[in-house]
Amino acid sequence: MRTLKQRILDEATVIGTEILKVDNFLNHQVDVEFLTEIGAEFYKRFGQEQVTKILTIESSGIAVACMTAPFFKTPVIFAKKVESRNLVGDTYSSEIYSYTRDKSYRVHVSRNYLSVQDRVLIIDDFLANGKAVQGLIDIVNQAGACLVGVGIVIEKGFQDGGNQLRKSGVKLESLAIIAAMNEKEIVFQNVETDAD
C-alpha cells in the first residue's frame, strides 16, 4: 500500500534494529481517516471471504480493527490480555510469549462471541515473530471457526512470523513489509499486491 509506505518513510523513526515507532498515526496518536483507507484496503483483499467476525488483540489492534469492520459490516472482537472481573465464565484462551517484554501472557475470548459458524479475519497493527497472531489462530481453532486470513498493517519481514504463517497455508496480507531497517534507512520488500 503505497500511501502507507510513504507515511512510514516520512514519519516513522527506527530505534536500534527492532523498534519502528509509528506513534504519529497508528498506535498512540491514531489518524482515523488514514486508518479508514487501511480498512478499505483490507476489504479489497478479503472482501470476498464472507467474513463474519474481525478478531484482534488489545490494545493497538483495536483501532485498526474498528476502522476496518464497517467495510465488512461485522463486529470486532478484541482478545483481552488481562483476566478481568468483567470477563467471567467460559473463555477460549491461549498463551502468548512476548519477546518485547520477555514474558508470557494469556489472552481470552468469551465463548459467546466465536462459534463454528464464524468466518474470522484476524487484524493487527504489527507482525514480527508472529506469536500474537498464532495465539489468536489457536483461539479461532478452539472455537471450531474458520480462519479466512490475517491482515497486518506493518510486517517486519526480517523476523520470522510472516513466513511461518505463509508456510502453514494462512492467507496473510501485510500492507507494508519491511525487509530491513536501521536508524538511517527503511527498506521495503516488494510484493505483487504492491501495485496499489
List the grid coordinates of 51.
Answer: 467474513
Considering only residues 53 through 82, tell me which ones interact with a second copy, judged by CB under 8 A.
58-59, 62-63, 65-67, 69-70, 73, 75-78, 80
Q: Residue from 112, 117, 182, 193 that binds a second copy (CB under 8 A)?
A: 112
Measured distance between the N- and C-terminal CA atoms of the chain, rounded to whole angstroms: 6
Q: Give the list of residues 6+ apart from residue 98 with CB closer than 8 angstroms, or none.
A: 104, 105, 131
CB 159 → a second copy: shortest distance, Å? Answer: 15
Q: Is 156 in the site for a second copy (CB under 8 A)?
A: no
List the grid coordinates of 65.
Answer: 480493527
CB 77 → a second copy: shortest distance, Å? Answer: 5
Q: Residue from 97, 105, 113, 158 that binds a second copy (CB under 8 A)?
A: 113
> Cα 94 from chain centroid?
16
Q: Which of 19, 9, 39 is nearest to 126 (CA)?
A: 19
Q: Residue from 9, 32, 179, 191 that binds a second copy (CB under 8 A)?
A: 32
**Beta carbons within 10 angstroms of residue 167's beta carbon:** 9
**Cα–Cα separations (whole angstroms), residue 90 to 10, 52, 86, 119, 138:** 45, 21, 12, 21, 16
Q: Is 35 in the site for a second copy (CB under 8 A)?
A: yes
CB 59 → a second copy: shortest distance, Å? Answer: 4
Q: Is 48 in the site for a second copy (CB under 8 A)?
A: no
C-alpha 103/C-alpha 165 separation (Å) is 22
Q: Residue from 10, 29, 48, 169 that binds a second copy (CB under 8 A)?
A: 29
List the grid coordinates of 159.
Answer: 523476523
Please give the residue ranges that form the binding site for a second copy (CB under 8 A).
15, 19, 21, 23-25, 27-33, 35-36, 58-59, 62-63, 65-67, 69-70, 73, 75-78, 80, 84-88, 100, 109-110, 112-113
